[in-house]
Structure 1
Amino acid sequence: SQASRLMYADRDRYFGDPDFVDVPVEGLLDPAYLKARAALIPKDVAGAPPAPGKPRGAGVRAPDATQEPGGTTHFVIVDGEGNVVSMTTTVESLFGSGRMVHGFFLNNQLTDFSFSPTEKDGVPAANAVAPGKRPRSSMAPAVVLDRKGRFVAAVGSPGGNSILAYNLKALVGVLDWKLSMQEAVALPNLIARGAPYMSEAAKFPPGVVEGLAARGVVLVGAGGAEGSGLHGVMVTPQGLSGGADPRREGVARKP
């Protein structure tokens, strides 16, 4: 939860269309910067939400005020020849703009821009609206390869700005905790972005919610503004194995 807070603080402040703003990707991924940010994680009791860092190449950016309503879906496919696709698609709000042209709903992606484009002193938000500009997206479909370039796993989810936390949960479950893909996607959700800890408190094992509260992590809410819909496929000694989020109508199926 504390690592997620740090991630969201930087992401919300610095990410926008790279054709319009300088996104400090190299600075954010610099090992020394990551080590310094990780050192801010409290050892015992969680404190106030962390402020954005100052990665190399970062300009001065105003706080972000982007809202991300639900209207997203995701799927993962591995074909018989080993080709892999992890695809997230959205029209932003449910049914997008509500307008259909030749059978396709038009999106409503302007709602993915910061509703407050500048600070009072005129400093712009990285995700401020502008003509021809692409809004920031939380979509984060992932394909994992090993050091030899071989397919390991693929995962993705809808969920607005909670997508990052959903995908991270599944990847940690599969790669670090050695769970099956189905077990990983079914793990309880916890979204630590800013002050609240949005979660599925009732799904945590006995004692976890109380133990976290004693350390300053008080779980509230129902898991984020838009629920997860994780889909994933992984390689196992027995072959490919898939998982679909039990919170939605998706399924994992072999042809």
Structure 2
Amino acid sequence: MPRSSTPATRWGTARPGDFGSVPVGTGQQQAEHGTSDISIADKYGNAASVTTTVESAFGSFHMVDGFLLNNQLTDFSAEPFDTDGTPVANRIEAGKRPRSSMAPTLVFDCAPDGSRGPLSFVTGSPGGSVIIQFVVKTLVAMLDWGLDPQQAVSIINFGAANTPITNVGGEHPSVDASDDGDRDPLVQRLRQMGHQVSVAPLSSGSSALAHAGSGWIGGADPRREGTVNGDQPR
């Protein structure tokens, strides 16, 4: 379906870009198990967004020098060819990196001369294949809607993954996920617009920081055990 010219209907499936002559496969999506995310900044101007995982629980079950080794090979497609024999782009091959949705993000202001300005936001999230949805939601909430980091990570999770399904996080207390969301006004309106809505839980674990004056404002996703910590400026 082509992109709609108005916001009153759903987009549908996005058209792919031109990736050259190599067919792009769609391997099996893997469930997320135990990814963590940290957004951090210090008084010296250093900052980092870290999304870390060992893939499945306990990774490869092998520990080396106190660290569990991951089993990140599961992020590749287990089947090297699709049903018609076309090689899958995400197949296992020497020298390749597996597909990943991890999206630790730093946002910088634009300087008057067009160059990179000071750091404004730090964010990221666990969540497997829907990490990108969580990060984009947080960025839109802070950049476009003017919400603070805690508000941004706490609001309803939503998004789509280039399928006809629109995700609305049924784990949020403001969403009525009973009867497949049929009694929730947001879900009702989306379905009237032609969306196929899923209200399955979207248990993100987003973290976010926003630069404010001489310090930072932080937000930790209430869906997981994260907290905001820091020192007062001296």
Under a length normalisation based on structure 1, what TM-score does the superposition of the two structures give? 0.76
- Structure 1 CA distance, aligned partners of 2:87 and 2:205? 33
Query: For the structure 1 residues 100 and 178, does the alpha-carbon distance in structure 2 shift closer, same or farther, using more than 3 Å as the test?
Result: same
Question: Is the Cα contact below 8 Å between 1:66 and 1:111 reproduced in 2?
Answer: no
Shift in Å, 1:237: 4.3
1:250 and 2:226 aligned? yes
Match of residue 114, structure 1, among 50, 67, 77: 77
Query: Are residue 172 (structure 1) and residue 150 (structure 2) matched?
Result: no
SS state at 1:243 partner: strand
Label 1:133 to 1:60 Cα distance change in 2 as closer, same or farther (>3 A): closer
Counterpart pick for 2:48 among 75, 85, 90: 85
Gap runs ≥5 in structure 1: 1-5, 7-38
- Distance in structure 2 (CA, Å) of the matches to 1:250 and 1:161: 20
**Aligned residue in 2 for 1:203:** 174
Does 2:23 correspond to 1:61? yes
Q: 1:213 aligns with which of 180, 184, 191?
A: 191
Contact 1:209 1:218 survives alignment (8 Å): no
Q: Are residues 1:141 and 2:112 paired? A: no
SS of the aligned residue for 2:44 comes to coil
- Aligned-residue offset at 1:122: 3.5
Q: Which runs of 5+ in 2 are unaligned?
A: 112-116, 177-183
Say which SS state the counterpart of residue 146 (structure 1) adopts: strand
Cα distance 1:243–1:131, how it changes in 2: closer, same or farther (>3 A)? same
Counterpart in 1 of 2:10? Answer: 46
- Residue 67 of structure 1 deviates from its aligned partner by 2.2
* Stretch of structure 1 that moved more, 118-127 or 74-83: 118-127
Question: d(CA) in 1 for partners of 2:46 and 2:127?
Answer: 26
- CA deviations 1:84-121 (Å, max 9, x no partner) are 11111111112212222232111111110123322344
User: For 1:144, what is the secondary structure of its paired residue?
Assistant: strand
- Asked whether the 8 Å contact 2:103–2:124 carries over to 1, the reply is yes
- The whole-number CA distance in structure 2 between the counterparts of 1:223 and 1:197 is 13
Residue 153 of structure 1 pairs with residue 121 of structure 2: yes
| Contact kept? 1:153, 1:235, Cα under 8 Å | yes
Matched, 1:129 2:80: no
Q: 3-state SS of the aligned residue for 2:110?
A: coil
Give me the TM-score of the superposition, normalised by structure 2.
Answer: 0.82
Change (3 A) 1:244 1:62: same
The structure-2 alpha-carbon separation of the partners of 1:160 and 1:248, relative to structure 1 and needing over 3 Å to count, comes to same
| Larger Cα-atom Rg | 2
CA distance in 2: counterparts of 1:125 and 1:178, whole angstroms: 41
Letter in 1 for 2:62: R
- Give yes or no for contact 2:22–2:89 (8 Å, CA) kept in 1: no
Q: Within 1, Cα distance between the matches of 2:35 and 2:124?
A: 11
CA distance in 2, matches of 1:183, 1:238: 21
Superposed CA RMSD:
2.3
